[in-house]
Amino acid sequence: MIKFTADQEKKAMRRDCRAWTKLMAEAWYTSDHPHATDYSAAAVVSDLREVYFLCQAHKVSDVGSISILGFDVLRANLLMCSRKDIIGMMKYFLMHANAANVDYAQNWIEIYLEEVA
């Protein structure tokens, strides 16, 4: 079995993050979400990178789950949720993702975002 060095793993993670962020940004800007284009490209990339690396740090590597959280964070930022609330939302999601309860977490986050809107 091939062993990767820590530097090789970091490089691969950054490459994967760039590819995922590009796909997510394209999906965001072509979505039917109202005001999606009001979100600056630099902020979208920055926020998505944060989500990606936070998920990796919490051992959540399922791209579907990471993508759900990415869209939730973008929506929360557009709704002007506080940084504290967004961090809490991410931690809540990750806790449930690690327990294989992404749908449960997503349902509650949807309710929260609807209340904020």
**DSSP annotation string for 47-110:** HHHHHHHHHHHTT---HHHHHHHHHHHHHHHHTT--HHHHHHHHHHHHHHHHTT-HHHHHHHHH
Question: d(Cα 77, Cα 80) in Å, to the nearest integer?
Answer: 5
Mean pLDDT of 59-76: 95
Domain membership of residue 26 as a residue range: 6-116
Does residue 48 sit within a domain?
yes
Confidence bin at 39 (pLDDT 50/70/90): very high
The pLDDT assigned to 117 comes to 84
Does residue 1 sit within a domain?
no
Predicted structure pTM score: 0.90
The pLDDT assigned to 34 comes to 86
What is the domain count for the chain? Answer: 1
